[in-house]
Chain A
Amino acid sequence: MKKRSNTAVQLKAAAIGCGIAMTLASTQAVSAPRDYISIVGSSTVYPFATVVAERFGKTTTNPTPKIESTGSGGGMKLFCSGVGTGHPDITNASRRMKKSEFEKCQAAGVSDIVEVLIGFDGIVLANSVKTKQMSLSRKDIFLALAKNVPAPKSMQDEFVTAQTLVANPYKTWKDVNPALPDVKIEVLGPPPTSGTRDAFAELALEGGCKKISWIKAMKKQDKKAYKSLCHTIREDGHYIEAGENDNLIVQKLDANPNALGVFGFSFLDQNADKVQGSMIEGQPPAFDTIADKSYPVSRPLYFYVKKAHVGVVPGIEGYLAEFTSEKAWGEDGYLAEKGMIPLSTDVRQTNGADIKALKAMSGEGL
């Protein structure tokens, strides 16, 4: 009897102790003001945001912002979960905020959001400089890399309405388009977990997919089937998953002149002695063509700022100023050196002014 009561008392004490510890921890967390900026979001923007954050931390008295690479979608989810120092101040995105995300933000009380378009990122298809430069259309890319393609016969006969799909039969680039060289289709690219692959599928594959009129019509009827047709990459050995490490792809291209690789523009820029970008729709991937959007496989890079946190968390305005300064996002800025494609001068000026005024986005046209 005595033994039991003894242990019961001990247990109770332990429970109370734990409770106190937890409440202490939690109250401290809720009331504690955060003195550093918390940033989440896209892994594509991560290399640029981290450079800015590091410079900002070194040149000001503010601590260096903390940046988590959660992916665009994950970042939005965290960003839109509420207002208060427990939630991030900024989220990076390699696409624009979706309407559904904007509404979710509004519902959680994140009403004023400042949208910042920082620049562009191009995705390139490149091969070794030892061989000839390729010139492809998005349709070629779709036909060469999609898992299922329209049966070649129906491609020729525009009047056939009942369209059939077959597993991708093309073995060489010449099969896809007689104008292309007679070389085996061999493309090294990132695995499905990568954002680069998503963007590549969306911009290059879907871009080519849409060129086929009956598939385009399918989008309205059966969006799911349309998406799975246009976004699924073949798995029969012609598309080789080469890991997330773009450096590795560059090395493999150097060793195998017949292969093409898919990676971000910054890696092409840094390895121009080894690889050359293929022309897409007649445009070479270059600073200017990506900036003026004539090169089609490029995506905008954004970040979003919670206006309610400006003034609460110190340094947000300073971080914005550093990011939108000419020495960072300008044409010769250090972000361009890391491979980001800058905006045009007048867009930079108007956007810069809006950002300085902390103009909140309206949510229209998303």
Chain B
Amino acid sequence: MNKPSNASTERIRKTLAKRYRTEKRFRLYGIMAILFGVLCVATLFVDIIGKGHGAFRQTYIQLSVDYAPDVLGISDINDTQQLALANFSGIVKNSLRTRFADVSGRSEKRQLYRLVSNSAEYELAGRLKANHGLLGQSEKVWVLADDDIDTYFKSLNSRDGAFVGRTNDTQQEWIQSLIEAGEIELRFNTNFFRSGDSREPEQAGIGGAIVGSLFTLFITLVLSFPIGVAAAVYLEEFAPKNRLTDFIEVNINNLAAVPSIIFGLLGLAIFINFFHVPRSVPLIGGLVLAVMTLPTIIISSRAAIKAVPPSIREAGIGIGASPMQVVLHHVLPLALPGMLTGTIIGMAQALGETAPLLMIGMVAFIVDVPGGITDPATVLPVQIFLWADSPERAFVEKTSAAIMVLLAFLITMNTAAVVLRKRLERRW
């Protein structure tokens, strides 16, 4: 009796070490897979943050500006026409020429004028408009440096040596002299969050894209949440089980996996060509993205409704509530956390989408920050795409910075979904 069992324990003992090793190896594969993933994400983040952190600060140059009426061509400060046509670029040029008095020659002067961004004249125009008393006075103003100067100045202290780019030796000498006089510095780039797109990198911002994204998501939410929840409730609670509902169910699951560009084509064909919704506005973007997120919301809402135990419904019916009352008073409140989580994840997906927007004209150059759902707008991922394509070197850091902002939004939304689920979830 002992013999056979001894033999099998012997066999087990022999293979035991091997089995332990296989077990260990198996776990190691899993750990390696996770490490690989973490490493990829870490590289991505280091790369993006390394490239993009510079964009949150921008180079400014101090000019002492003389608002000379004869240069500006203003004889009457209260004449808005004169103020609008005034030669502000003239006083910027004058102040640069006074600062670097030894500059002569046409080409050298043009190099000099390229030190500051052309937004300087609009900045000065704004200051004079706000304070008419400045006419004839002079003051020291910090204005934006040109993007080439900005990239050069930021790279001065980098380990790989300065990025010269399009700046030449004379310009570098001027910058050196500005540094010694303390007339050039990096400041926090509020402009980046406030303004819209621009072809001049130093003036470009993601403000317009953020507002556009918010308007678009608002439309998406307002449309897809009620429709999605209504569809889910009907399918789960009321729909008779027959071929038709099965067919609808299969289609909803399929739609969730349809490539998003298809929804863009659908939006173009139906909303733009048939209903004549204008192109490039958050309204059309929101409509298309709503159609795109509907399947996600319906599926997650149905799962949430399914998770509500039947005893709740039975109890409701038992004390005489109508099916609608059961749904509205009991099932929906209990399923809501799950529905909201699904909705937030759907919204996060919509926020990161570019492909469907390509077809409906939201991949466009838009400078003005949109003021409503029928103003032309673009969204964050599209802005990233447009900047990544631009020739100017300074857009590299802007692109990475915009990616950081988009990631921050996505992480916030997904965290909100997790927190919501943890807080409100009820287990039976």
Contact = CB atoms under 8 A, between A and B. Distances in A.
Interface of A: 3, 6-7, 10-11, 14, 22, 25-26, 28-30, 32, 34, 36, 38, 40, 46-47, 50-51, 53-54, 57-59, 63-64, 66-69, 85-86, 244-247, 266-267, 270
Contact of B391 (A28, A30, A40, A247): A247
Contact of B275 (A22, A67, A85): A22
Contact of A68 (B198, B363, B391): B363
A69 B197 CA distance: 15
Q: Interface SS of chain A: helix, strand, loop or mixed?
A: helix
B374 A68 contact: no
B57 to A, nearest CB: 23
Nearest to A266: B391
Given A6-B324, A46-B365, A68-B280, A14 B230 contact: yes
Interface in B259-282: 275-280
Given A28-B374, A64-B366, A244 B276 contact: no
Interface in B341-400: 361, 363-368, 374, 376, 389, 391, 393
A26 B277 contact: yes
Given A54-B200, A59-B84, A68-B365, 14 more contacts: A3-B238, A14-B227, A25-B283, A30-B276, A50-B199, A53-B365, A54-B198, A54-B199, A57-B368, A68-B279, A68-B361, A86-B279, A247-B391, A270-B391
A34 to B, nearest CB: 7
B361 A47 contact: no
A104 B343 CA distance: 45
Interface of B: 84, 122, 166, 198-200, 227, 230, 234, 238, 275-280, 283, 323-324, 361, 363-368, 374, 376, 389, 391, 393
B275 A58 contact: no
A213 B227 CA distance: 67
A29 B282 CA distance: 13
A66 B275 contact: no
Given A246-B391, A267-B391, A53 B278 contact: no
8 contacts: A25-B275, A28-B374, A38-B376, A50-B365, A51-B199, A53-B365, A54-B367, A246-B391
A64 B391 contact: no
B160 to A, nearest CB: 14
Given A6-B324, A25-B277, A32-B374, A69 B391 contact: no
Contacts of B276: 26, 29-30, 86
A36 B389 CA distance: 25
Contacts of B363: 68-69
B393 A58 contact: no
A34 B366 contact: no
A64 B376 CA distance: 10
Given A51-B199, A245-B389, A32 B365 contact: no
Of all A-B residue pairs in the complex, the 6 with the closest CB atoms, nearest first, are A64-B367, A67-B365, A66-B376, A68-B364, A26-B275, A50-B365
Nearest to B377: A66
The residue among A7, A53, A64, A68 with the most chain B CB atoms within 10 A of its own CB is A68
B116 to A, nearest CB: 15
Contacts of B366: 64, 66
A37 B71 CA distance: 33
Given A46-B365, A64-B367, A68-B361, A29 B277 contact: yes
Contacts of B166: 270
B278 A67 contact: no
Contacts of A86: 276, 278-279
B362 to A, nearest CB: 9
A10 B283 CA distance: 26
A265 to B, nearest CB: 12
A24 B361 CA distance: 21
Contacts of B367: 53-54, 57, 64
Contacts of B199: 47, 50-51, 54
B207 to A, nearest CB: 14
Contacts of A58: 122
A354 to B, nearest CB: 26
B249 to A, nearest CB: 17
Nearest to A86: B276
Contacts of A7: 234, 238
Contacts of B374: 28-29, 32
Contacts of A270: 166, 391
A18 B323 CA distance: 24
Contacts of A10: 230, 234
A11 B84 CA distance: 57
A38 B279 CA distance: 9
A42 to B, nearest CB: 13
A277 B227 CA distance: 60
A47 B391 CA distance: 9
The residue among A22, A66, A69, A266 with the most chain B CB atoms within 10 A of its own CB is A66
